[in-house]
Structure 1
């Protein structure tokens, strides 16, 4: 009991002081003081409920998923049947009534078409995503199944969540909360962000980038009436493109999209204009080089989210897969576009259906009240422990102070977030730490009543109480781990403090106090202790 090797003392004190030092920047920040800029400043991040920020609820339209699937299936059908030998010609293509229908020109090709389309009807796990039927001998109808639509919606929302996460993190904010809500909604919470419009602009942009060849022979009068030749589309110019109110006719097939982008960066060109430099992967670069080499002297449109941002003329073949997007950009809009493109396009449009802004004053008040609760509770516990256990109560309270500092230090080192429930976790941790010392001291008191000597009573008290403490903390750890794994937002914030507090409480309440008590017993050699 009295033997604490020097290396163990050094290890205990070194760990305690190191984590205490890590907690200092957070204490300075919470108190409003300024931490020296020349020193490292690992800080505990404050959650939305403490630091303020933006809360945005985004919603996807399931009908758009249906439209996308119909468009994708149409392209797949045209490609599959167009590559057949001999080619299967189709016509009278329609996507009305949430289904894809088309006519096969020759009755003799219907069975062959069905056989070629069969692999397109099943998704992953052999889930039937499309039903195929033939009517009037030559008309094939493809109808999406409910299972297929559900799988597509779930995949689109999961992908959207990942894209939004990359975009928000690109802003340099800390610990955003981005979670699914229901089947077609996503909650975005960004603590500390002073400009919620920036978040709305960033996460609300689909960032679907397309490069399509322009039909330069289309008449403006036809475009105004929405009339184009088969196989073409009309896209309006973006409001800030310099051609607001005008439109372009482009060929639906033969272009490329931004799915093969690997880099997008805001920059300035030789004319000192703000542009976005993009780079494709090898496959996309080869397709881009082929597109530009085969259409030198022709105009192609750069389309972002259904709007033409520029329509330059291809001057020469573009090799290497590197190009630039120009259009009346400011440094801010160029940076936002670069972030959107770099993070990838949203697979479905998302609209803001709810927006709340949490002011920092509310968070400051929460912190103030939480600290008051901690101080009041701590003072009450300190008075009770010292009055009840004397010197051993003093050791317990010093350990309690180190416990709180070590929790802050670990959270700062792990770059975790403190939420209002996290403050509740702090208060709960204080109670748990004190419980451990109460259990130890009561066991020592029982051992003394049994007539054991001081050193033997203390040693047995720590030994027996430690077993119960470890058992209790294991069950608490399991509960905290489950809360962290399956909880979201504030629940995870509570779980983080709880789990960290379990380890620090055992270390401070058992190991540190035992070291201090052993040092005192070895030095003072008391004949009795007052408990």
Structure 2
């Protein structure tokens, strides 16, 4: 069985050569990364390049693979945030936005229900009082007609609102099925918007994933600080265009029904009393770009979709000479006076912006509004120096482990131990190649997983070599002893690797963060170890034996 078919040898050596080729760019990480960045920038520019980009592009040959492992936050430095999404806020906004529909539906049957007015209620509940209590059944029927089916598998067949009569008052709130569906939509939308905002500023390999029912983990390597990341994603960027009722300097002014007092972002001590029901919302915004106004001051150009453009155009046509407020997250960033009918659904936001502020505002608006506010439960910043120290420490630990294992194997098993060490080196290269192909993120615990892989890999060789020793002591020929050693040790090696792989899978599924990083490298390492310990080591020994033809072997 020591005779290995030619096709199998070619396949084994081909896999090893391919692994070396794929893993090679990681040995020149900085140069390849600059090459990849320049290549992407030139592609975005339509093929046009600068001398600096051409120089960066020449750092690595185009004919070689240029894939790299992603480095985790603890190796590269960057910002880490754990955010909690206030999903309950969406219920209140959803119900609040139903008031115009409910009002119009009931006013259409005024002869039956009488006059209609909204009364104060807790958040998430809409209460409407009618002047004719005898028409309450008709009023409930009209409001229930506004219900829509729940758009989720678990809520199929159920309506989205619960309508009840309480004397002369109708109470409207979301059903439990709709709340569950809303929670899912809110989290998915928040994840997507955060990802779009982070991608807008060109950060590399961010980790953005849901944790639990209402939390989001955000890790962005290479960004300056957690505060910088929070400023980018921490705002809900809720943009609305509201009617202005009055302007005051009294922060304690009492607004009328369905009105609010909002501070001016750029005018100290100025407050605007605005209608809380917006004319147009940021959800109808389709584009926002940094620009300059007629006085060459930084501003933001915006454009609405068709429905938003019609609403905006109708409002400006009917309110010429009156101010209207552009509100971002409960602050009035600008309150221009409408000079003429603004058609086409586009306009400009002006204010005392810097160029950086107008650019950031455009990014926030273009990426979309978060559906709910967030609070940050955990935040930390890892400097690039600490990341570099982590890489150096991990490299040193791996080198020391490799040398210690090599010394041990050569001291115990001589030439066979040296061949096992060569197979171990190929094993590590294959592990790095698979991480590169999968786009997996290497973390500091992942480096620990690589170190553990080294020990597990030579453990298989120890089982094989000890079995060969036993067969030699019983007087078997070298070829027969080696055949039996590989054959009989295979079951024990397979059992130990399968149990280790099951453990890695469990850690990956149940664990998070550092535990998953460790599980990824450990799981991949187990698979590559099985290949190199059984097939690679056997091929090396068979090649050596066919070349030297020793009369006896010493293991």
Q: TM-score, normalised by structure 1?
A: 0.82
Q: 1:495 to 1:86 in 2, by over 3 A?
A: farther
Matches for 1:257-406 after TM superposition, within 5 Å? 257-268=281-292, 272-292=296-316, 299-312=323-336, 313=338, 315-319=340-344, 321-406=345-430
| Secondary structure at 1:96 match in 2 | coil
Taking the aligned partners of 2:420 and 2:190, their CA distance within structure 1 comes to 50
Range moving further from structure 2, 75-84 or 506-515: 75-84
Deviation of 1:169 (Å): 3.5
- Paired residues of 2:313 and 2:341 also in contact (CA < 8 A): no
Q: 1:506 to 1:263 in 2, by over 3 A?
A: farther
1:521 to 545, 548, 551: 545
Q: 1:224 to 1:423 in 2, by over 3 A?
A: closer
May I ask how many residue pairs the two structures share in their alignment? Answer: 518
Range moving further from structure 2, 489-498 or 158-167: 158-167
1:135 to 124, 146, 166: 166
Structure 2 match to 1:33: none
- Paired residues of 2:247 and 2:271 also in contact (CA < 8 A): no
2:129 to 103, 107, 117: 103
Any idea what the Cα deviations from partners look like across 1:202-235, whole Å, max 9, x if unmatched? 22211011123444xx4648x7663455554443
- Paired residues of 1:70 and 1:95 also in contact (CA < 8 A): no
Deviation of 1:146 (Å): 7.3
Q: 1:356 to 1:83 in 2, by over 3 A?
A: farther
Matches for 1:4-19 after TM superposition, within 5 Å? 4-5=6-7, 7-8=10-11, 11-19=14-22
Deviation of 1:359 (Å): 3.9
Matches for 1:11-50 after TM superposition, within 5 Å? 11-26=14-29, 37=56, 38-40=58-60, 42-50=67-75
- Paired residues of 2:326 and 2:333 also in contact (CA < 8 A): yes
- Paired residues of 1:299 and 1:314 also in contact (CA < 8 A): no
Deviation of 1:419 (Å): 1.7
Any idea what the Cα deviations from partners look like across 1:227-275, whole Å, max 9, x if unmatched? 455554443321x3xx333233444446111113343333446654433
Structure 1 match to 2:51: none
- Paired residues of 2:12 and 2:535 also in contact (CA < 8 A): no
Which protein has greater RCO, CA pairs closer than 8 Å, 6+ apart? 1
Any idea what the Cα deviations from partners look like across 1:301-354, whole Å, max 9, x if unmatched? 2211112222332534432x4444333332322232222223321222223454
| Secondary structure at 1:429 match in 2 | helix
Matched, 1:112 2:114: no
Any idea what the Cα deviations from partners look like across 1:257-305, whole Å, max 9, x if unmatched? 1113343333446654433343444444454455455556654322111
Q: 1:97 to 1:289 in 2, by over 3 A?
A: closer
- Paired residues of 2:251 and 2:261 also in contact (CA < 8 A): no
Deviation of 1:519 (Å): 1.9
- Paired residues of 1:277 and 1:325 also in contact (CA < 8 A): yes
Q: 1:62 to 1:43 in 2, by over 3 A?
A: closer
1:197 to 227, 242, 263: 227
Matched, 1:429 2:453: yes
Structure 1 match to 2:253: 226
- Paired residues of 1:22 and 1:412 also in contact (CA < 8 A): no
Matched, 1:77 2:102: yes
Taking the aligned partners of 1:322 and 1:502, their CA distance within structure 2 comes to 58
Deviation of 1:166 (Å): 3.0
Structure 2 match to 1:511: 535
Taking the aligned partners of 2:502 and 2:314, their CA distance within structure 1 comes to 58
Range moving further from structure 2, 403-412 or 375-384: 403-412
Give unpaired runs (5+ residues) of structure 2.
34-54, 61-65
- Paired residues of 2:317 and 2:340 also in contact (CA < 8 A): no
Taking the aligned partners of 1:87 and 1:468, their CA distance within structure 2 comes to 84
Taking the aligned partners of 1:460 and 1:284, their CA distance within structure 2 comes to 78
| Secondary structure at 1:397 match in 2 | helix
Deviation of 1:115 (Å): 1.9
- Paired residues of 1:49 and 1:363 also in contact (CA < 8 A): yes
- Paired residues of 2:107 and 2:116 also in contact (CA < 8 A): no
Any idea what the Cα deviations from partners look like across 1:144-180, whole Å, max 9, x if unmatched? 6778767655654554344333323433333444455
The root-mean-square deviation of aligned C-alpha atoms, in Å, is 3.8
| Secondary structure at 2:97 match in 1 | helix
Q: TM-score, normalised by structure 2?
A: 0.79
Q: 1:384 to 1:130 in 2, by over 3 A?
A: same
Range moving further from structure 2, 141-150 or 414-423: 141-150
Give unpaired runs (5+ residues) of structure 1.
31-35
| Secondary structure at 1:462 match in 2 | helix
